[in-house]
Amino acid sequence: MVQVKFPPWLLLVACLLMVSCHSAQQGSRAGGNAVFGKLETFDFTFNSTSMTHFVYGITASSAAVLLYGSTFVSIKKIETGDGMFFQWVNCAAIWVVSMVGDLILDSPKFQPFAMFGGAIWATGNIAVVPIIKAIGLGLGSLIWGSSSLLMGWASSRFGWFGIAPQDVSRPILNYCGAGLCLLSGLIFFFVKADVDLHPNSESIPLLIDRRTYSGSYGPTSSEFWIDHIGHKTRRFIGCLLAVVSGLLYGSSITPILYIKSHSSCQDSMFHGASDFDLDYVYAQCSGIFLTSTLYFTIYCAAMHNRPRLHSRLILPGLSSGLMWTLATYCWFLANNYLSAVITFPIITAGYGLVAALWGSLVFKEIKGLANCLIFLFASCVVLTGSLLTAISKL
151 has a pLDDT exceeding 90: no
Q: Is residue 50 part of a domain?
A: no
* Higher-scoring residue by pLDDT: 92, 360: 92
Rounded to whole angstroms, the Cα distance separating 347 from 5 reads: 24
Q: Is residue 145 part of a domain?
A: yes
Which residue type, as a one-letter code, is found at position 94?
Answer: I
Q: Is residue 207 part of a domain?
A: no
388 has a pLDDT exceeding 70: yes
Q: What pLDDT does 378 receive?
A: 85
Q: Are 350 and 384 in contact (CB under 8 A)?
A: no
Q: What is the DSSP code string of 206-248?
A: SS--HHHHTT--S-----SGGGGS-HHHHHHHHHHHHHHHHHH
Rounded to whole angstroms, the Cα distance separating 350 from 66 reads: 8
Neighbouring residues of 239: CB distance < 8 A, sequence distance ≥ 6? 134, 135, 143, 188, 189
Mean pLDDT across 319-339 = 90
**DSSP 8-state assignment for residue 267:** T
Per-residue pLDDT tens over the stretch 212-253 = 444 434 444 445 777 778 888 888 999 999 999 999 998 998
Closest CA to 350 of 143, 64, 75: 64
Closest CA to 122 of 341, 334, 324, 349: 324
Mean pLDDT across 381-387 = 83
Rounded to whole angstroms, the Cα distance separating 100 from 163 reads: 29
274 has a pLDDT exceeding 80: yes
Rounded to whole angstroms, the Cα distance separating 27 from 13 reads: 20
Q: Is residue 31 part of a domain?
A: no
206 has a pLDDT exceeding 60: no
**DSSP 8-state assignment for residue 245:** H
Confidence of residue 267 (pLDDT cuts 50, 70, 90): confident
Q: Is residue 180 part of a domain?
A: yes
Q: Are 104 and 279 in contact (CB under 8 A)?
A: no
Dihedral angle sign, alpha carbons of residues 96, 206, 84, 5: positive
Helices (H), 36-113: 48-69, 84-104
Q: Is residue 305 part of a domain?
A: yes
Q: How far is the CA of 323 from the CAs of 16, 65, 233, 305, in angstroms? A: 14, 11, 32, 31
Q: Is residue 102 part of a domain?
A: yes
Rounded to whole angstroms, the Cα distance separating 124 from 70 reads: 18
**DSSP 8-state assignment for residue 201:** S
Q: What pLDDT does 48 receive?
A: 66
Mean pLDDT across 48-71 = 85
Range among 7-11, 99-103, 352-356 rated most confident: 99-103
Q: Is residue 18 part of a domain?
A: no
Q: How many domains does the chain have?
A: 1
Number of residues written out for the chain: 394
Q: Are 71 and 324 in contact (CB under 8 A)?
A: yes
Longest dimension (CA), the chain: 71
Domain residues for 247? Answer: 60-198+227-391
Least confident segment among 67-71, 77-81, 87-91, 239-243: 77-81
Rounded to whole angstroms, the Cα distance separating 369 from 78 reads: 28
Confidence of residue 17 (pLDDT cuts 50, 70, 90): low
3-class SS letters over 371-387: HHHHHHHHHHHHHHHHH
